[in-house]
Structure 1
Amino acid sequence: MKKLYSVLLVALLSASILTACSETKVNGKKDGEFYSSEDEAFENAKKESTGIQDIIGESKYVDNEKIVIYTIKEKLNIGVGTATLTQND
């Protein structure tokens, strides 16, 4: 019985990883397409997910990548989300 649960767990984790790594479109742009500014990227994210409120924190660029933390509100629920921005010269 433990082997069955282990196999099911591995299958579920594998499916989750494959699904999370799939290519997505945000406002007609595929994942990995470029915006001309950080503000444009944030505005497009707000259009895609209307619950995004404000950026509450961000890291410095490290190896051309920045982590952004934002607030999100949907109905009566409030939470935080994260995103990464990659800078391309």
Structure 2
Amino acid sequence: MKNQTVRTTITLPAELLAAADKAVSQGKAKNRNEFVAQALIHELEALRRAEIDAALAEMAQDPEYQAQVLQMEAEFAVASWEALQLEESPA
């Protein structure tokens, strides 16, 4: 099934449009619409990654989260050691 598209109008600086058109002429995208869509997808993905990074950084500073991590590490220490020993033993 094809993605639904919506026609819209945007205003861009002339040099930005010229750079986009140059990229299209170099085969970076089939046409201007595809190039703009790719750029939007790329930017939205970057924003999402930044949100995830910020959440992870916040978790790293959270004492309660750090306590939970240490508790889980302690609970799995024996299993981790056993797995390491199995990996190192001759087959």
**Superposition TM-score tier, normalisation by shorter sequence:** 0.3 to 0.5
Query: Which one has a bigger Cα radius of gyration?
Result: 2
Which TM-score applies when normalising by structure 1?
0.34
Give the number of the structure with larger relative contact order, counting CA–CA contacts within 8 Å between residues 6 or more apart: 1
Which TM-score applies when normalising by structure 2?
0.33
Higher helix residue share? 2
